[in-house]
Amino acid sequence: MDNSDSHDDALANRILKYAAATSKTSDLPPFPGDDVESLPSDYEYQEGDYDDEEYDEEEVEEISEMELLSHLDASMPPLLLAQELFNSDVDASTFSVLKSTNANQLFEQGYTVLDNVLPLSTIQSVRQWATEMFKSGQMDKASGKHNEEDDPFREGNARGDYTIWVSPGSKFLEVSPELKACVDWFSRELHEDLTKVVHLHGQAEYQLAYYPPDSSHYERHRDSFPTDDKEDIDQRRVTAIVYFNPDWKQGNGGELRIFDKGMGDEDEKEIDIAPLAARCVVFLSGVMDHAVMPAFEERIALTSWYR
């Protein structure tokens, strides 16, 4: 056995131990219904994410999410796995908001973009409402809620946005009918169309995010682990984001950067998508690494994750 084989075996061993340990406890958020406002945020690649007592007791060596994901990607391109979750008999004529090209792009490249999904008046109202929520201190800083002393690897600046959970039933939807219209679009039209394309289990979460104009950003991360398991209800399958930035111009920053490795290509491509008003980006949560570039103007987005 040469060195690289033994290294692979050692890593495979650590992954197995790690998977066994982490499967006993889940830090995935519960589904909306009980305490939607306190749902934790999604995955970020950070050293030491699982560096807590439970794992220490079991003497499991930590593996960062980045390390684990790159190992998983090397053994199987995540897009190939995710393609197993696509339905074969999709009838695009029954879509209400997607086009057949969107479904094809989601399958072939892992992401797609839809424009003008909501009226501009709705976009303006939600933007104004979100800005007021931020200014009155009613949104939570997404990073830094954990104890940074206990968890020095997970920096408080992995993401600079402020968020609220706005899943159906949230009190916020009662006070902003325009926001409710947006969540309804996500939870009805888009969810129904996506369910025709990808095998989904029906659960979804919705989060409104405000990025202040101080170079706030969100580091490269993935929203879930890749899977081809139709029965797996833990992993997020599809991420969709709508933007509320009517005056966005080149130079304002805040682009969504998608890292496209295709079918495991060595040279990944970086695709920057402008966060234009009423634009919706849809991607496979376990496939696409992505980041939010530093924002120099207020940037507002509503994200949904479908499982």
Ligand X SMILES: O=C(O)CCC(=O)C(=O)O
Site residues (vs ligand X, CB under 6 A) = 42, 209, 218, 223, 241, 256, 290, 292, 301, 303
Given ligand X, Fe ion, none, residue 303, with its beta carbon under 5 to 8 Å by kind, binds: ligand X
Q: How far apart are CA 54 and CA 58, in angstroms?
A: 7
Tell me whether residue 180 or residue 290 sits nearer to ligand X (CB atom): 290
> 223 vs 260, which CB is nearer to Fe ion?
223
Residue 213: strand, helix, or coil = coil
The least distance separating ligand X from the CB of residue 215, rounded to whole angstroms, comes to 15
Residue type, 1: M
The amino acid that residue 88 corresponds to is S
Name the minimum Å distance from CB 31 to Fe ion: 18
Residue 244, binding choice from ligand X, Fe ion, none, Cβ under 5 to 8 Å by partner class:
none
Smallest distance from ligand X to CB 164, Å = 12
Q: How far is the CB of 200 from ligand X (least distance, A)?
A: 18
Interaction partner, residue 292 (ligand X, Fe ion, none; CB < 5-8 Å by kind): ligand X
Q: Rounding to the nearest 10 degrees, give the CA dihedral for residues 226, 230, 234, 235.
A: 20
User: Among residues 63 and 301, whose Cβ is nearest to ligand X?
Assistant: 301
Q: Which does 301 bind (CB under 5 to 8 A by kind): Fe ion, ligand X, none?
A: ligand X
| Partner that binds at residue 194, options ligand X, Fe ion, none, CB closer than 5 to 8 Å by kind | none
Smallest separation (angstroms) from ligand X to the CB of 267: 23
Question: Which CB sits closer to Fe ion, 178 or 289?
Answer: 289
Q: Which does 241 bind (CB under 5 to 8 A by kind): Fe ion, ligand X, none?
A: ligand X
In the complex, what is the shortest distance from the CB of residue 212 to ligand X, in angstroms, rounded to a whole number? 13
β strands within the chain, DSSP E:
111-114, 140-141, 162-165, 204-211, 216-221, 238-243, 256-260, 269-273, 280-284, 289-295, 299-306
201 alpha-carbon distance from chain centroid: 17
Q: Which of 84/272 has CB closer to ligand X?
A: 272
- The smaller minimum CB distance to Fe ion, of residues 102 and 207, is found at 207
User: What residues contact residue 97 under an 8 Å CB cut-off, 6+ apart?
Assistant: 114, 117, 185, 189, 190, 193
Q: What DSSP element (H or E) covers 121? A: helix 120-135
**Closest by CA position to 296, among listed 211, 217, 213, 210:** 213
> Side by side, which strands form the sheet with 140-141?
111-114, 280-284, 238-243, 299-306, 204-211, 162-165, 140-141
Least distance in Å: CB of 207 to ligand X?
A: 6
- Contact residues toward Fe ion (CB under 5 A) are 223
- Interaction partner, residue 178 (ligand X, Fe ion, none; CB < 5-8 Å by kind): none
Q: Which is nearer to Fe ion, 49 or 223 (CB)?
A: 223
Using the minimum distance from each CB to ligand X, give the nearer residue, 77 or 254. Answer: 254
Of 108, 122, 44, 69, which is closest to residue 280 (Cα–Cα)? 122
* Minimum distance from residue 91 beta carbon to ligand X (Å): 30
Residue 279 interacts with which of ligand X, Fe ion, none, CB < 5 to 8 Å by class: none
| Residue in 291, 289, 59, 39 with CA at minimum distance from that of residue 50 | 59
Tell me the residue number closest to Fe ion, measured at CB.
223
At position 204, the amino acid (one-letter code) is A
Q: Under DSSP, is residue 221 helix (H, G, I), strand (E, B) or coil?
A: strand
